[in-house]
Structure 1
Amino acid sequence: MDMDFSKLGSLADQKLPTDPIRIFESLPNLPGTPNDIWRGQTEALSQWNDNRSQNDVLIELNTGAGKTLVGLLIAQSLVNEGLQNVVYVCATIDLVEQTSAEASRIGIQHTTRVAGGYNNDLFESGKAFCITTYHALFNGLSSIRKNHFPEAVIFDDAHVSENMIRSAMTLSFSEHTHEDMFEEVASLFDPHFRELGRHGEFSNALKGEHSKIVMAAPGGMQKYSEQLLEILNRHNIGGDKDLKYPFSYLQDRLNRCAIFFGNKGCEITPPFLPSLRIDCLERPLRRVYLSATLKSKADFVRAYGRMPDATIGPKNDAGNGERLVLFGSKIEGGVGVKEVEAISGQHKVVLATPSYFSAHHWDALGKPPKPANFSSELQDFREAKEGVFILVQRVDGIDLPHNTCRVMVIENLPRGGSLLERYQWEFLNMRNLFASKMANRLAQLFGRINRGRNDYGVFIITGNELNTWLKNDRNLALLPELLQQQIKLGDLVQDGMAVTSAEKLTQIVNAVLGRDAAWLKYYGDNIQKGSLEDEKEDRANRVEERLTAAAVAESEHACLLWDGDLEGAGRALDRIIEDTNRADTPLAGWHSIWLGSCYEGMGSRENAAIAYQRAKNRLGSGNVYLPLYTRVCDAKGQDEPFNDFGEVLDSIIGYDSEDKFEKELNTRIKGMRALDGGSSAEVEAALRELGDLLGFDSTRPDNDQGLGPDVIWADDHSEVLIPFELKTDKTMESVISKKDVGQGHQHQEWVADNYHKFENLGLVYVSAAGSCDATASPSEDMYQCDLRAFATLRDQVLSMIRDIRNRLPLERANFIRESSSDDRWLLNHLFDAIDTVPLRSRQPAKK
């Protein structure tokens, strides 16, 4: 019998929908499928669909606003479009499992990859997208990138992904994990730290004493990189189950990395991430970044190497739950085990702590789960009626909505544990660099138990560092606006109701969680009234613009350095370093180190010396270990060392080239131009620059750390200092207010706590204000002077520089030595030279 094939239908391709909203509407009607999607999700999906052809699209939604569903629908849309190897990456295996469960709940086919294997063949056969981890995608031996290079990637939690990408390019080993290799590497760098005169501190770092962390000078890494590679290869690091992945990135570029020692361990990592040299970030493919709302794009750029082509941030109130934020610093004796135990007897508590070491303080309440048991113990806590769950170094992927938990205790800032981050934070005081990181991490923590508009909870802040950080307006400006308002409101409630005892703390927690009617009315009436002043918000935004520009330059520098283009890499940093210095002096100091490294690598010791000297001035000479290159002269007495002021003068005057001299001098002049008038931030930067020119340890504590006076000039040798408060926006008709004076008293206390060995000559208000408020109480060590005095001082120094430059080259060193040693440049003489007058004398005579 013949077969009649004519009866068969044609094998036509079924047209699949690519509009993500249509995909949602066509999902199977499963028990877990939501009936509808929220307004914010709809807007995000619609706008992404309009921008789907762009390579890099950032989608910002509040924590708890449903980013996962948005990401899954976009992933399916890209599969339906016909893109091959669509990948959805999560921070952890636990989050891969959560995202997979969400996809299954709504009926979207997918594959997962964890622990080196796929759970089905849908992804490999091109029928579905794959959910996996950042590590699986970014590790140096990624089988996904090798065998199934993606045409599209969805990055979940993109706002906290920098550390995950950096960890893929970081070699970290210790005395505990690789004892013999660690000892050999330490021995290799021992002569280097002896040459720098820092062998004692190096030894402390190796022993794990005093929490010391040291970084080798860039030239040391350049010098020893080949021997370091021999040691690593001899210990078969390429076969190590953990270290082989980052080693594949770094093995041919060790001389372009930084090396740190501390806590009996060693860490090797690029100083700036060369993200755009990772193929899945460098090539033109579709990348979608799912993020919490970002006030600053600097960390995004540091992670991914570029600004997004399009940013989608629909306005929505999903995730905007009710919060009462209470400060443990206002509770007598603070908040400890006893206080948390009293609350946990009535309400479940999540306790977030930054390290396992700090978790030991809470041993009486419980132990943090081991990584292998984390998911199961977290689920047990969700289902429990009482108890405390201790969360260590975890800010995302933990969802405890509604009655699963309504109290969170946050202990101190959620800092990272890498030696690089700890070195920058603890030893270089690079607080501005981490301000946006901390803000993003804190926003995530606040979202762990507060997941929707109708959710509510109480947050208790413990630890001096975090309590202080949250009271700084510049830091607050980086948080989501509603969270800013909730923190301000909580501060007001705690003061107004005198919540200063453990008993009162428990009472107010019970009232809020018991839905006290008076609290609900007060919260509703006042929550929109806690915004920051426009001026403070604007200032924070201006700083962030410069820091984002700095991040773009860092990315360019890192890529050129990765390619071996030292000149281009140096030029990328040099182009923005002075603008960066006006916004963040320590960050400019970090840039100066690596600019000097480029010069040193090119053999330009003169330029390297200047860059390294600037790094020391900006970061503090005691905090960074860098070589001091000096000029060698044949003339008698020419090799006698200069004082600090002389070193700065020599770094400007000592150029052989007239063009280089003029360029350097003009850079200095530009940095001090605002002494003739400018915005508050510009004048602060200019006054700091003048102090640096005079050879002092010149800093901007309020800008760089969020604490203390606007500017400090400190002489480390004589241990004398002058703190400055800038009120340059005031005119002759203005007054130094009672609030200004109160702030001055606080800053004098800060100076006393942080410079206890120094003599404080007096807090100087730099202002044209005609008087001081009669109701204020200035101390006898408070003074006032006019900004014009500093412009005059600047012009005197610049005139002296040109006079010395006009001398014969062989005469210049002696004239530098003689001029810089004049007593008129000592701090106590300068205090008089700027015409300071006691602030009390500016008050109206009492009748």
Structure 2
Amino acid sequence: MTFDFSKIKPKKRGDLPVDPVELFQNLKVYDSGINDLWLAQGDALRKWHENRTKPDVGIVLNTGAGKTLVGLLMAQSLVNETREKVLYACSSIQLVEQTREKASGYGLDVTTYFRSDFSNDLFTRGEAPCITTYQALFNGKSRFLNERLAAVIFDDAHAAEHLLRDHFSLRIARTEFSDVYAAVHALFKGYHDKTGKAGSYAELEDPRCHHLFLIPPFELHSQLGEMTRILREARLQQEKSTMFAWEHVRDHVDTCCIMISGDDITITPPFVPVRSLPYFNTGIRRVYLSATLSAPDAFARTFGCIPEEVIAPTTTAGECERLIVIPSRANLERDDIEMAKELIDRRK
């Protein structure tokens, strides 16, 4: 028996739905709780589809309004359009796994990446988005820094500021780098002696001291050569606790803030230079999913830009679903604690 393989052809790009609403309608949904798109979800998807070519778009939907489904449909829509690599960033591994489970219920194929491992090769083949963590995306040795990406979806964008700051902050723990800590502490002793802070600065010799000293930029510049030597000889690039942040700051110590406490030395830029990362290059589209976008100045500090388009459809989903119980404010504290446990057990 002979086979004519010439009749077997791969799907053309045009065969894959790009409109996210049409994409949803073509899915085989397994989640029994999903019957159709909610009104706000449909509004958000249609409005985004009209603005999909803009480099920065914000999507605001209440918690409980189906933001994850919206984000995953956008991610797969971008994959179908470009047939290139699209990332979906979450704030923790737990949320990566939770989002993967939801995608499975929606009938969407995805790749996950955490702990240096891809779950499958769909992402590398340009067939499905990759769900990963902010940590995997922004650490100084991220494998994605050299990937050719078409788009990045930032989930929970309102909570990203401290995550990005952490990855650009080099923390040299006193317990791990005692010699480095002692050398840097001694380097700036003369300055604090001259400025009348010799006593309080000397208290840093006790690890339990809670004082925090910010080294002025002019003093750092005057000691930059010696500071650079101390850091270079510490071989920070070889230790797991410092290698990732060191990759970001090693050539920019002179423009960083230096803070010394009883526990550690922190070297961090005054503004997180996210625009130095390829994810924010021209040609890569970015979508910011959030329950509430922060003030424009705070958003700009986090992502180095302000979205050209912010889509915030009106919805009551997720409202009036929160109960805050403060047993310590009630007379019958024990009864209230038991009541709270019962509520948590029976409800979300």
SS in 1 for 2:135: helix
Write the mapping of 1:646-657 to structure 2, written as runs, cut at 5 A: none
1:71: which partner in 2? 71
1:24: which partner in 2? 24
Deviation at 1:224, TM superposition (A): 2.2
SS in 2 for 1:40: helix
* CA distance in 1 between partners of 2:333 and 2:120 (Å): 46
Write the mapping of 1:513-524 to structure 2, written as runs, cut at 5 A: none
Deviation at 1:95, TM superposition (A): 0.8
- Residue pair 1:110, 1:123 contacting (<8 A) in 2 also: yes
- Residue pair 1:222, 1:256 contacting (<8 A) in 2 also: no
Q: Highest relative contact order (Cα 8 Å, sep 6+), 1 or 2?
A: 2
2:315: which partner in 1? 316
* CA distance in 2 between partners of 1:155 and 1:117 (Å): 20
* CA distance in 2 between partners of 1:210 and 1:174 (Å): 14
* CA distance in 1 between partners of 2:154 and 2:242 (Å): 24
Judged with a 3 Å threshold, the aligned counterparts in structure 2 of structure 1 residues 124 and 187 are, in CA distance, closer, same or farther, namely same
Is 2:336 aligned against 1:343? Answer: yes
* CA distance in 2 between partners of 1:303 and 1:291 (Å): 14
Q: 1:157-179 CA distances to partner (integer Å, 9 max, x unpaired)?
A: 10110111111110012222322
Deviation at 1:205, TM superposition (A): 4.4
Deviation at 1:107, TM superposition (A): 1.4
- Residue pair 2:204, 2:261 contacting (<8 A) in 1 also: yes
SS in 1 for 2:99: helix
1:172: which partner in 2? 171
SS in 1 for 2:240: coil
Judged with a 3 Å threshold, the aligned counterparts in structure 2 of structure 1 residues 281 and 29 are, in CA distance, closer, same or farther, namely closer
Judged with a 3 Å threshold, the aligned counterparts in structure 2 of structure 1 residues 42 and 204 are, in CA distance, closer, same or farther, namely farther
* CA distance in 1 between partners of 2:6 and 2:86 (Å): 38
Give structure 1 stretches of 5+ with no counterpart.
Answer: 351-381, 386-401, 405-847
- Residue pair 2:29, 2:105 contacting (<8 A) in 1 also: no
- Equivalent position amino acid for 2:35 in 1: N
Deviates most, 270-279 or 193-202 = 193-202
1:275: which partner in 2? 274
2:347: which partner in 1? 403
Deviation at 1:349, TM superposition (A): 8.8
Root-mean-square deviation (CA), in Å? 2.6
Give structure 2 stretches of 5+ with no counterpart.
Answer: none
- Residue pair 2:207, 2:262 contacting (<8 A) in 1 also: yes
2:129: which partner in 1? 129
TM (norm. structure 2) is 0.91
SS in 1 for 2:84: coil
* CA distance in 2 between partners of 1:282 and 1:59 (Å): 20
- Equivalent pairs: percent with the same residue? 35
2:62: which partner in 1? 62
Judged with a 3 Å threshold, the aligned counterparts in structure 2 of structure 1 residues 20 and 4 are, in CA distance, closer, same or farther, namely closer
- Equivalent position amino acid for 2:338 in 1: G
Judged with a 3 Å threshold, the aligned counterparts in structure 2 of structure 1 residues 122 and 4 are, in CA distance, closer, same or farther, namely closer
* CA distance in 2 between partners of 1:253 and 1:105 (Å): 46
- Equivalent position amino acid for 1:248 in 2: E
1:722: which partner in 2? none
Q: 1:531-580 CA distances to partner (integer Å, 9 max, x unpaired)?
A: xxxxxxxxxxxxxxxxxxxxxxxxxxxxxxxxxxxxxxxxxxxxxxxxxx
Q: 1:738-788 CA distances to partner (integer Å, 9 max, x unpaired)?
A: xxxxxxxxxxxxxxxxxxxxxxxxxxxxxxxxxxxxxxxxxxxxxxxxxxx
Deviation at 1:141, TM superposition (A): 1.1
Is 2:243 aligned against 1:299? Answer: no
Deviation at 1:115, TM superposition (A): 0.6
* CA distance in 2 between partners of 1:36 and 1:241 (Å): 46
- Residue pair 1:76, 1:128 contacting (<8 A) in 2 also: yes
TM (norm. structure 1) is 0.39
2:195: which partner in 1? 196
Deviation at 1:64, TM superposition (A): 1.9
Deviation at 1:297, TM superposition (A): 2.0
Write the mapping of 1:101-250 to structure 2, written as runs, cut at 5 A: 101-146=101-146, 148-205=147-204, 207-208=206-207, 211-250=210-249
Deviates most, 280-289 or 301-310 = 280-289
SS in 2 for 1:131: strand
* CA distance in 2 between partners of 1:38 and 1:156 (Å): 19
Q: 1:113-133 CA distances to partner (integer Å, 9 max, x unpaired)?
A: 111111111112222111001
- Residue pair 1:258, 1:268 contacting (<8 A) in 2 also: yes
How many residues are paired up?
347
* CA distance in 2 between partners of 1:190 and 1:289 (Å): 45
Moved over 4 A (4+): 9-12, 322-326, 338-342
Q: 1:190-247 CA distances to partner (integer Å, 9 max, x unpaired)?
A: 2222232222222334535563211011112222233222222212101111211111
* CA distance in 1 between partners of 2:280 and 2:341 (Å): 42
- Residue pair 1:221, 1:257 contacting (<8 A) in 2 also: no
* CA distance in 1 between partners of 2:296 and 2:181 (Å): 37
* CA distance in 1 between partners of 2:177 and 2:333 (Å): 40
SS in 2 for 1:260: strand
Deviation at 1:31, TM superposition (A): 4.2
Judged with a 3 Å threshold, the aligned counterparts in structure 2 of structure 1 residues 77 and 254 are, in CA distance, closer, same or farther, namely same
The structure having more radius of gyration, on CA atoms, is 1
* CA distance in 2 between partners of 1:187 and 1:7 (Å): 75
Judged with a 3 Å threshold, the aligned counterparts in structure 2 of structure 1 residues 349 and 265 are, in CA distance, closer, same or farther, namely farther
Judged with a 3 Å threshold, the aligned counterparts in structure 2 of structure 1 residues 323 and 131 are, in CA distance, closer, same or farther, namely closer
SS in 2 for 1:34: coil
